[in-house]
Amino acid sequence: MKNSLQATLEFDFRGERFTPSISVDLDQLIIRGGHLDNLYDMLAASIGLDSYSYEYDVLVMQEITYSAPTGLACEFVSDGKFDFDNFALQWAQQQIIESIRPIAEKHLKISDLSQHKELQAALIECYQAGQKNPSK
Protein backbone atom coordinates (compact mmCIF):
# COMPACT_ATOMS: atom_id res chain seq x y z
CA MET A 1 0.00 0.00 0.00
CA LYS A 2 1.19 3.48 -0.83
CA ASN A 3 2.32 5.64 2.08
CA SER A 4 1.43 9.28 1.63
CA LEU A 5 0.09 12.35 3.36
CA GLN A 6 -0.90 15.94 2.74
CA ALA A 7 1.48 18.69 3.91
CA THR A 8 0.02 22.18 4.34
CA LEU A 9 0.99 25.45 5.93
CA GLU A 10 -0.44 28.96 6.06
CA PHE A 11 1.20 32.33 6.25
CA ASP A 12 0.47 35.96 5.53
CA PHE A 13 2.79 38.29 3.67
CA ARG A 14 2.04 41.91 2.82
CA GLY A 15 -1.67 41.44 3.43
CA GLU A 16 -1.93 38.32 1.27
CA ARG A 17 -2.71 34.86 2.64
CA PHE A 18 -0.73 31.92 1.24
CA THR A 19 -1.79 28.31 1.81
CA PRO A 20 0.53 25.97 -0.05
CA SER A 21 -0.39 22.30 0.14
CA ILE A 22 1.21 19.26 -1.45
CA SER A 23 0.66 15.53 -1.51
CA VAL A 24 3.79 13.72 -0.33
CA ASP A 25 4.66 10.22 -1.53
CA LEU A 26 6.55 9.04 1.56
CA ASP A 27 7.85 5.90 -0.16
CA GLN A 28 9.60 7.98 -2.82
CA LEU A 29 10.79 10.52 -0.24
CA ILE A 30 12.57 7.80 1.75
CA ILE A 31 13.90 5.96 -1.32
CA ARG A 32 15.48 9.19 -2.54
CA GLY A 33 17.04 9.78 0.89
CA GLY A 34 14.87 12.79 1.58
CA HIS A 35 13.62 14.15 4.85
CA LEU A 36 10.77 16.40 5.89
CA ASP A 37 13.08 19.43 5.69
CA ASN A 38 12.78 19.11 1.91
CA LEU A 39 9.05 19.83 2.17
CA TYR A 40 9.54 23.56 2.67
CA ASP A 41 11.16 23.83 -0.75
CA MET A 42 8.41 21.69 -2.28
CA LEU A 43 5.69 23.79 -0.65
CA ALA A 44 7.35 26.98 -1.83
CA ALA A 45 7.64 25.65 -5.37
CA SER A 46 3.95 24.70 -5.34
CA ILE A 47 3.05 28.40 -5.17
CA GLY A 48 5.87 29.65 -7.37
CA LEU A 49 8.29 30.87 -4.69
CA ASP A 50 12.05 30.43 -4.82
CA SER A 51 14.39 30.37 -1.86
CA TYR A 52 15.55 33.95 -2.52
CA SER A 53 12.20 35.63 -1.89
CA TYR A 54 11.02 37.34 1.28
CA GLU A 55 7.89 35.20 1.15
CA TYR A 56 10.09 32.10 1.37
CA ASP A 57 11.73 33.44 4.54
CA VAL A 58 8.28 33.78 6.12
CA LEU A 59 7.16 30.36 4.80
CA VAL A 60 9.99 28.45 6.47
CA MET A 61 9.14 29.98 9.85
CA GLN A 62 5.72 28.28 9.80
CA GLU A 63 4.92 24.83 11.08
CA ILE A 64 3.74 22.29 8.53
CA THR A 65 0.46 20.54 9.29
CA TYR A 66 0.00 16.95 8.14
CA SER A 67 -3.29 15.31 7.21
CA ALA A 68 -4.91 12.61 5.05
CA PRO A 69 -2.32 9.89 5.71
CA THR A 70 -2.48 6.61 3.83
CA GLY A 71 -0.86 3.26 4.55
CA LEU A 72 1.61 2.99 7.37
CA ALA A 73 1.67 6.79 7.75
CA CYS A 74 -1.76 6.58 9.44
CA GLU A 75 -0.05 5.28 12.58
CA PHE A 76 2.30 8.26 12.77
CA VAL A 77 0.05 11.30 12.21
CA SER A 78 -1.59 12.80 15.28
CA ASP A 79 -3.03 16.29 15.80
CA GLY A 80 -1.47 17.55 12.57
CA LYS A 81 2.02 16.34 13.52
CA PHE A 82 3.94 13.58 11.77
CA ASP A 83 6.56 11.41 13.48
CA PHE A 84 8.81 10.95 10.44
CA ASP A 85 11.71 9.30 12.27
CA ASN A 86 9.61 6.49 13.74
CA PHE A 87 7.70 6.16 10.47
CA ALA A 88 11.01 5.74 8.59
CA LEU A 89 12.18 3.05 11.03
CA GLN A 90 8.92 1.12 10.74
CA TRP A 91 8.93 1.58 6.95
CA ALA A 92 12.44 0.10 6.71
CA GLN A 93 11.40 -2.81 8.92
CA GLN A 94 8.40 -3.42 6.68
CA GLN A 95 10.64 -3.46 3.60
CA ILE A 96 12.86 -6.11 5.19
CA ILE A 97 9.86 -8.25 6.12
CA GLU A 98 8.60 -8.02 2.53
CA SER A 99 12.01 -9.28 1.38
CA ILE A 100 12.25 -12.21 3.77
CA ARG A 101 8.61 -13.33 3.58
CA PRO A 102 8.99 -15.28 0.30
CA ILE A 103 12.14 -16.98 1.65
CA ALA A 104 10.35 -18.15 4.80
CA GLU A 105 7.45 -19.39 2.71
CA LYS A 106 9.69 -21.23 0.23
CA HIS A 107 12.07 -22.91 2.68
CA LEU A 108 10.07 -23.14 5.89
CA LYS A 109 6.49 -23.25 4.55
CA ILE A 110 5.60 -20.29 6.80
CA SER A 111 3.30 -17.79 5.14
CA ASP A 112 2.74 -15.51 8.14
CA LEU A 113 5.98 -14.59 9.88
CA SER A 114 4.15 -12.45 12.43
CA GLN A 115 2.98 -15.73 14.01
CA HIS A 116 6.63 -16.70 14.55
CA LYS A 117 8.20 -13.63 16.17
CA GLU A 118 11.50 -15.28 17.15
CA LEU A 119 12.04 -16.68 13.68
CA GLN A 120 11.09 -13.34 12.12
CA ALA A 121 13.60 -11.56 14.36
CA ALA A 122 16.31 -14.05 13.41
CA LEU A 123 15.63 -13.65 9.69
CA ILE A 124 15.62 -9.86 10.00
CA GLU A 125 18.95 -10.00 11.81
CA CYS A 126 20.39 -12.26 9.08
CA TYR A 127 19.14 -9.86 6.43
CA GLN A 128 20.74 -6.89 8.19
CA ALA A 129 24.02 -8.78 8.69
CA GLY A 130 24.03 -9.57 4.97
CA GLN A 131 23.53 -5.88 4.17
CA LYS A 132 26.52 -4.94 6.32
CA ASN A 133 28.80 -7.72 5.06
CA PRO A 134 27.70 -8.77 1.57
CA SER A 135 29.54 -11.81 0.23
CA LYS A 136 31.80 -11.16 -2.68
CA–CA separation, 92 and 97 (whole Å): 9
Q: What is the mean pLDDT of residues 85-89?
A: 94
Question: Cβ–Cβ contacts within 10 Å for residue 83, how many?
Answer: 15
User: pTM (2 decimals)?
Assistant: 0.82
Give the model's pLDDT for residue 37: 81
Burial of 86 (0-12, 13-18, 19+ CB in 10 A): exposed
* Short-list 75, 61, 80, 58, CA closest to 6: 80
Asked if 33 and 42 touch (Cβ cutoff 8 Å), the reply is no
Q: What is the mean pLDDT of residues 32-58?
A: 91
pLDDT at 112 over 90: no
pLDDT at 136 over 70: no
